Amino acid sequence: MAGEVETVADRQGRTFMLRRAQDRLRHSESAMQAATLNALPAHIAVLDAQGCIVLVNEAWRQFAASNVLQAPGYAVGVNYLAVCERAPGDGADEALKVGAGIRSVLEGNAQAFAIEYACDLPAEQRWFLLTATPLSDAPACGVVVVHANITQRKLGEEARLLEKAMAGVQEQPLRLNDGVLRIASRAGKLTLETQLRQALDNEEFVLHYQPKVNLASGKLTGVEALIRWNDPRTGLVPPARFIPIMEETGLIHEVGRWAMRKAIADHQRWRTAGLAAMRIGVNVSALQMRHPGFLAEISQAIGIDAHAPAGLELEITESLIMRDVKHSIASLQAIRAMGVHIAIDDFGTGFSSLSYLARLPVDTLKIDRSFVIDMTAGMTAGARGMALASGIVTLAHALRLNVVAEGVETEEQSRLLRTLSCDEIQGYLIGKPVPADVFETRFLARKEAPAR
Ligand code: C2E
Ligand code: CA
Ligand code: CA
C-alpha cells in the first residue's frame, strides 16, 4: 500500500489517475462492508480500544437520529465511553453503569456485559437490551456494542417467544468473525484517514517540545519536536495512533513537511525574541527519506534564513538507515552539506554493521529507551543494559559522535549514564514534551540584555 503511493508520486501525470483508482477501490470496498454489517440484527457499533466509535450499522444510525436529543454522542468518531460517563439527567446512573461495563470488557476483566434499560419517546415507551462483547479474542482490541429492542417482551406480548430469543443472545454473545473484523478495522482506518486530512486542513497538528541536557553541566543542549494531533473532540492524540495510517496513505509527506517547517519557524522565532535558541530534532519517517523530493524539501525549508540549518537536526531511525546503506550515506551526506545535523534514533535496535556505522555521516547516536530501562532492571537485564549502554557510548566517542540517552526517568539512570560518560540525556526526569509556549517559559531563559 505504502509502496503503491510512493511509486505513483514519482510519476508526474499519472499521480491523479492512480490515486483516484485507489480511492474508488477503497470506497467500493467500504460500501460492500457496510452492506454486510447492515444485514446484522439490532443496532450495532464497534468501539476501538479507547472506546471511540469506529463503525456503526444503519440500524444504529437511525436509532441515533431518533434519539438525538437524549443522546447526541452516537456518531462515528465520538468517544462512547466519555459520552456514557458524562451523560446528564435521568439516565445518568444507567449510562455510568454502561460505561463501567464496557470498560471492564475492554480491559479484559469481564467476558461480556449486559443491561436492560428504558428509552422513552414522548408517545412511546421502549426498552432495550444492551450487550457489550469483545471484538476479538485478543484483549483490548475493541468491543462490539449491540442494542436490541426488547419492548415487546417488556410489554408482555409474545413474552415467552422473545424471552427465549433474547436468552439466546445473552448466552451467545455476538462475536464478529475475521471477515467482519477486517471490515471494522478497514472502516475505522477510512474514518481516521478522512479525519486526518481534515485535521491537516484545519491546522489541528501541534508540535510539543522535550528538552535534552548535558549530563556534566546540566545545561540545556537541544530539544526534540514531537507531533500530536489536537483533536477538538477528544483532545491530544499521540503519534503512535496516527503516524502508521499517515504512512499508509501518503499523508506523512505533507505532515512531515509541516513539522519540519514549523520547527524551523519556531527556532527563528526564539532567536528573534532573544531566547536561547537551540537545535530542534525533527523525526523523519522512512517514507519521507525514500522520497526523491526530500532533499529539495529540506533545502527549501531552511532557505528562509542563513541561521535556519543550525537550528535543525533530523532524527532518523537506525533500522531505516541500515535498510539501504549506500543510498542512506549519499542522502545523509547531502543533508549534512546543507549544515543540518543528523541523529540516529533508537540506536541499538537496528543491527548496525560496525564497518558501515564508521562511514555514516551523522552527528549523534540516541540510545534507545529500552536499554536505559534495562540498566536498572536488576540482575541479568541490568548487567545487559549497562553493557549495551556502555558499549554504545564507547563506540560513539570512538567515532567522535555525540551520544544521547532517551527516556531517562530516574536519578539512578541519570547517575549510571554519567558514570558511563554519556553526553546528554532526554526523558521525563528532565521534562515531558510540552507545548511550545510552555517550553519557552520553562526552559528558554531570555539571554542577558546587552549592557547599556
Ligand atoms: P521517538 O522519536 O523515539 O520519541 C521518543 C518518545 O518517547 C516520545 O513519544 C516521547 O514522548 C517519549 N518519551 C520521552 N521521554 C520519555 C520518558 O522518560 N519515559 C517514557 N515512557 N517516554 C518518554 P511520543 O511523543 O509518543 O512519540 C512516539 C514516536 O512517534 C516517536 O518516537 C517518533 O518515532 C514518532 N514521531 C513523533 N513525532 C513525529 C513526527 O513529527 N514525524 C514522524 N515521522 N514521527 C514522529
Ligand atoms: Ca526521535
Ligand atoms: Ca527514539
Q: How far is the CA of 334 from the centre of ligand 1 (A)?
A: 26
> Which of 246, 258, 261, 283 most suits a substitution to test ligand 1, by most atoms within 8 Å of the C-beta?
283
| Nearest CA residue ID for atom 21, ligand 1 | 407
Pocket of ligand 1 (CB under 6 A): 210, 226-227, 238-240, 243, 256, 259, 283-285, 315, 345-346, 406-409, 427-428, 433
- 369 vs 359, residue with greater confidence: 369
The C-alpha atoms of residue 43 and residue 80 are separated, in whole angstroms, by 14
Q: What is the pLDDT of residue 148?
A: 78
pLDDT digits (tens, 9 = 90+) for 76-100: 888 899 888 887 777 788 889 999 9
| Residue carrying C-alpha cell 512531515 | 256
Q: What is the pLDDT of residue 412?
A: 96
> Which of 226, 251, 289, 344 most suits a substitution to test ligand 1, by most atoms within 8 Å of the C-beta?
226
Q: Are 368 and 348 in contact (CB under 8 A)?
A: yes
From the list 180, 212, 166, the residue with the least C-alpha distance to 431 is 212
Distance of CA 50 to the CA centre of its chain: 13
Tell me, letter by letter, the H, E, C secondary structure of 116-185: EEECCECCECCEEEEEEEECCCCCCCEEEEEEEECHHHHCCCCHHHHHHHHHHHHHCCCCCCHHHHHHHH
Looking at residue 447, what DSSP letter applies?
A: P
Ligand closest to the CA atom of residue 320:
1
Ligand closest to the CA atom of residue 212:
1
- 34 vs 362, residue with greater confidence: 362
| Nearest CA residue ID for atom 44, ligand 1 | 285
By percentage, how much of the chain surpasses pLDDT 70?
76
pLDDT at 207 over 90: yes
From the list 54, 60, 68, 58, the residue with the least C-alpha distance to 195 is 54
Helical axes 58-66 vs 15-38, angle rounded to 10° = 80
Q: Are 134 and 46 in contact (CB under 8 A)?
A: no
Give kind and range of the element (H or E) at residue 62.
Answer: helix 58-66
Ligand 1 atom closest to residue 227's alpha carbon, by position in its atom list: 38
pLDDT digits (tens, 9 = 90+) for 128-183: 888 888 887 775 788 888 887 777 666 665 555 555 665 655 555 555 566 666 66
pLDDT confidence of 429, banded at 50, 70, 90?
A: very high
**CA distance readout (Å), 179 to 37, 176, 185, 264:** 11, 8, 10, 46
Q: Are 189 and 245 in contact (CB under 8 A)?
A: yes
Q: Are 426 and 408 in contact (CB under 8 A)?
A: yes
Which structural domains are found in the chain, ordered by start? Answer: 40-195 (3.30.450.20), 203-444 (3.20.20.450)
Q: How far is the CA of 413 from the centre of ligand 1 (A)?
A: 19
Looking at residue 446, what DSSP letter applies?
A: B
| Nearest CA residue ID for atom 4, ligand 1 | 226
Q: How far is the CA of 52 from the centre of ligand 1 (A)?
A: 23
Q: Are 187 and 147 in contact (CB under 8 A)?
A: no
Q: How far is the CA of 344 from the centre of ligand 3 (A)?
A: 9
Q: Are 55 and 184 in contact (CB under 8 A)?
A: yes
Ligand 1 atom closest to residue 433's alpha carbon, by position in its atom list: 11
pLDDT digits (tens, 9 = 90+) for 249-283: 889 999 999 999 999 999 999 999 999 889 999 99
From the list 54, 56, 428, the residue with the least C-alpha distance to 210 is 428
**Of the listed ranges 189-198, 293-302, 387-396, the one predicted with least confidence:** 189-198
